[in-house]
Amino acid sequence: MLYHFLYPLYEYVNAFNVFKYITFRIFGAGLTALFLSFIVGPSFIKILKIKQFEQAIRTDGPSSHFIKKGTPTMGGLLILFCTLFSTLLWADLTNSYIWCAIGIMVGYGLIGFLDDYKKIAQKNSKGISGKTKLFFQIIFALVVAIFLYQNVSISSDLTFPLFKNFVLPLGWFYIPFVVFVIVGTSNAVNLTDGLDGLAIGPVMTVAGTFLLLCYVTGHAKIAQYLQVMFIPRTGELAIFCGAMVTAGLGFLWFSTYPAAVFMGDVGSLALGR
C-alpha cells in the first residue's frame, strides 16, 4: 500500500525512491510486524482470557501438561494479523504471488480457526474431524495450484538451488505436486506444534530461508551470478516472509515457557502451508 502511494512521489522528492527497493520494504515490513505484535499482543491475550478461549489439554498427555490448563489458545491470530497487515502495508499489491500467499494463509487460517473454536465449544481436544479438515485443505491448495499452473508467466519446471543445471519439467503433474507440498507442510507444522512455542521456531527458520530464496530468485543479477533460475516478481514474497519471521518472533515473546498463549490450529495450519 505504501509502495503505491509513496513511491510515485519520488518525482518530487528523491527520498521516496527508496520504496522501489525490496530490501528496504523487507526491513519495513519486519519492523512493522514486530512492533505491532508487541503493541497488540498483551491486549489480544487479555481478550482471549476474558472470552475464555482456553486450550483443551489431552487427557492422555504427560502430567506436566495439566498445569497448562486454562491457558488461552488461538494466539496464531496475532501472527496472522501482524503478517497480513505488514504485507498489505509494504508489498506491491499488483503482484499475484502476494495474493496467492495471502489467500492460502487466510484459507488455512479459517480451517484452523473453526477447528480451535469447536474444541473450545466442546471443551475437548478433538475439534473438526481429520477427514473434513483434510478435504478443505486439499480444496484450498487445489485452487492455488490451478491458478499458478494456468498463469503463463509461471514456470511448472522444478529446480534445485544446489544443482546448477538440473531442471525437471512437471507438466500437469505440477498441480498435484503443489497440493501435496502445501497440504503436507501445513500438517507437518500442525503436528510439530505443542506447548511453549514448539512450532514457531522452525516456522521462523524456514520463513527466513524462503526470504533469501525468494529475494535471490527474484533478482536477475544475483540469480545469474549464483546460477539459479530467475523468476520475475518473486522478490515481493520476501516481504511476506520477512513479516512472518518477525511476527513469529513477537509471538515467541508471549509463548515461551511459561506460555501466556498457545498458537492453536489457526496458527499452525496457516503458517505451515
Residues tagged in the binding site annotation for Mg(2+)? 190, 265
CB atoms within 10 A of CB 57: 18
Q: Which residues are annotated as a binding site?
A: 190, 265
DSSP summary character for residue 1: -
d(CA 143, CA 37): 31
The continuous run of DSSP H or E covering 105 comes out as helix 96-122
Name the phi and psi angles at 158, rounded to 5: -110, 130
d(CA 238, CA 207): 9
Q: What angle do CA 266, 267, 270 make, to 5 degrees?
A: 85
DSSP reduced 3-state for 168: strand
Do residues 53 and 118 touch, judged by C-beta distance below 8 A? no
d(CA 200, CA 202): 6
